[in-house]
Structure 1
Amino acid sequence: MNPLLSQLQPYPFERLRQLFASVTPNPAYKPISLGIGEPKHATPPFIQQALSKATLGQPGLAGYPATAGEPALRQACANWLERRYGVVLDAATQVLPVNGSREALFAFAQTVIDPSAQSTVVCSNPFYQIYEGATLLAGATPYFAPSVPERNFAIDWDSVPASVWQNTRLMYVCSPGNPTGAVMPLDEWRKLFEISDRYNIIIASDECYSEIYFGDQAPLGALQAAQQLGRDGYKNLLMFTSLSKRSSVPGLRSGFVAGDADLIKPFLLYRTYHGSAMSPVIQAASIAAWGDEAHVIENRRLYCDKFAKITPMLSQVLDVKLPDAAFYLWAHVGKHCGGSDTLFAQRLLEQYNVTVLPGSYLAREAHGHNPGAGRIRMALVAETAQCQEAALRIQAFIQGGA
């Protein structure tokens, strides 16, 4: 058995199941889950039709797909990047389809980290848990840079010592952030690029929430920031994105990575042996999805309407505000339940049958502090009426003396 597996911590949702094992939810209420960030908006019919047509057509499922993906899919991804960010990439060498951003973020660490070098991987804290697992199974050590609530949860990159940067091979960046929803501005990207150049660090930019935002300006992307700063070629930079949130198709498992061709080439080699080719019918549906923006605009409108209604309701009883982007509310529980995020989640489920995720499960104790402690993450992915009902129950829970 791989001894590195013993370093992995239980995934947050496994920890949540353990936390709730002794809890009996109030049967007077129908269960509502705000715990898992799984899009619940309806899948656009044209994507379903493209999937069905490809399944019934030729070659359908009768051939093995190429790991590099069909040229038409790579070009569709490149076309979207140009429309969305104004960046022009070579679809053949700078774009690679993947089976969703999750598996790609994990596999990329296995590609670029030398397990004999005892390298460090830097990421934010709190963070998407795949970053830690990918780091540990690649034989590296994670280093967690804290987020700063007073600065809109910006990551305190300056707190990372030079000695850590010197040993760092890979940096995971998430913008818009999970769970905070914070978007990195150009000045922060400039700082990260300077760090990358100084210490020869690869940046993996996780941008799967980029199309769900609440202001007039779309979130800045890594490749876009690099272009604005005159960094042609995107040295040591890859962005990762997927259709799951953008197009409400989490079951499709489709995304792509783009950027430095010198990183794409070894990543493709790794994936060729790893067996990570995308089904031809998924590729056909993906081409259709990346080529359409009308459904994305409508999806974003639904989220904007939902957050405009739910955020004020919850801000009456919790320390929470509208994020820059993504579909989470990252709330501080204050003095309720003694300030314990886990006790808050237990009692809320017990009394009102609403599930939220304790923030401490999304972070790690680092530098004497867990930045997720005392917070809860609420995924507003269900229909608006269900989210409103959940908000009303949370109000009643807190006003009842939680």
Structure 2
Amino acid sequence: MNFEPYPFEKLNNLLKNITPNKNYEPSVLTIGEPQFETPEFIQNSLAKNASLLKKYPKTTGEEYLREAILSFIAKRFNTNLSDEQIIPTFGTREVLFNFPQFLLFDKKNPVMAYPNPFYQIYEGAAIATRSKVIHLNLTQENNFKPLIDEDELSSCDLVILNSPNNPTSSTLSIEELGEWVKLALKYDFVLLNDECYSEIYTNEPIPSLLEAATYVGNTTFKNTIVINSISKRSSAPGLRSGFIAGDEEILAEYMKYRTYVGCASPLPLQSAAAEAWSDEAHVAASREVYKRNFQLAKEILGTEIPNATFYLWLKVNDALEFTKKLYELYNVKVLPGEFLARQSASQENPGVGFVRIALVESELKTKDALTRIKECLNG
């Protein structure tokens, strides 16, 4: 298998011969990792249950964790799932990589579609499954939303959406998601929405694909799958708690597959995760921090405040040159958009001319970094 280097490796190569300006403190705005302390009640739960390390965890997850996730889905998305319609997972990165391998194993010539630019695990899964890839290009012209081409979709086995989107911060409405659900039923492909940023919204809650399925009458969630994670929601990426939910017939077989994968979450982590999934106050507090950061960006850079995520998808003339200049003169690291995308069928890379900026620092550090970025843009 021939995998592309990860975007951060490409960035390191781009900057390796550059000495940054030491008059500034380093500012790293490249990775989507919240730079805040994991809430104390989550840490306390982890420490309190450390003795459970002596036990093997079950692949199915403990009942208390499953109940916490089901309760979260019911409260947040007004969707009541059965126990057979969810599987707790070890974060969602592993799911995005191994679920396509499970799903497409028996397909002779599998076809996957996913947004472009994208989270690189989608591409890794396509490579691992030898899938033909259809890129759903996200551009300014389509408001960074995947366009529907039924001729192409009719050949798909798996379509991955990502709303709220990394890196563009675009979101799909319940009506738009519903159209995708109807297409999944019409052409019999599995539709998966990566919803890991669903809780980092600035004003109105972002709809889930589960809600959209019910909205268009698919109350059994046939061909409909969502994944979600606690990493961004609870500033706890190291907790590795996520879930996959939806079509119970698909999940029943996927559960068998997972017993061989060996990715069950350790029991102390499950205990802490159950506490985190059950609490909303700490999430609301985090949202306010990210919202203030977006407001700062609007004041300093003139950017619009997106509906969700903590990313700025900032348009620049030459992303590679801007990234190098920003690092050399202002000691700020950002990620060129072309590292997060691939050349499309039209021979264009939709990430060219953009940089992704992760606003995951405190208000003070964010203001300082954004001010430096503005100086670089004006220089």
Aligned counterparts, 1:170-181, within 5 A: 170-181=158-169
- Give, in angstroms, the shift of residue 105 of structure 1: 1.1
Q: Which of 179, 195, 201 is the matching residue for 2:189? A: 201
Aligned counterparts, 1:3-402, within 5 A: 5-6=1-2, 8-56=3-51, 60-91=52-83, 93-114=84-105, 117-158=108-149, 162=151, 164-215=152-203, 217-315=204-302, 320-333=303-316, 339-366=317-344, 367-400=346-379
Q: Deviations over 1:120-167 (max 9, x none)?
A: 100011111110101110121221011132443111123xx61x3233
CA distance in 1, matches of 2:322, 2:251: 44
In percent, how many aligned pairs have the same letter?
39
Q: Which residue identity lines up with residue 336 of structure 2 in the other structure?
A: P
Q: Deviations over 1:69-90 (max 9, x none)?
A: 0111111101110000110011
- Give, in angstroms, the shift of residue 63 of structure 1: 1.1
Q: Which residue identity lines up with residue 253 of structure 1 in the other structure?
A: R
Q: Which residue identity lines up with residue 393 of structure 1 in the other structure?
A: R
CA distance in 2, matches of 1:11, 1:157: 28
Residues 115, 135 of structure 2: 8 Å contact kept: yes
Residues 116, 139 of structure 1: 8 Å contact kept: no
Aligned to 1:336: none
Give ranges in structure 1 of 5+ residues lacking alignment: 334-338
CA distance in 2, matches of 1:322, 1:115: 44
SS of equivalent to 1:61: helix
TM-score under structure 1 length normalisation: 0.92
Moved over 4 A (4+): none
Residues 196, 202 of structure 1: 8 Å contact kept: yes
CA distance in 2, matches of 1:346, 1:73: 45
Q: Deviations over 1:218-274 (max 9, x none)?
A: 001010111122211100111100100000001111111111111111211111101
CA distance in 2, matches of 1:361, 1:150: 20
Q: Deviations over 1:324-356 (max 9, x none)?
A: 1000000101xxxxx211111011101110000
Residues 221, 247 of structure 2: 8 Å contact kept: yes
TM-score under structure 2 length normalisation: 0.97
Q: CA RMSD in A?
A: 1.2
SS of equivalent to 1:149: coil
Give ranges in structure 2 of 5+ residues lacking alignment: none
CA distance in 2, matches of 1:53, 1:391: 40
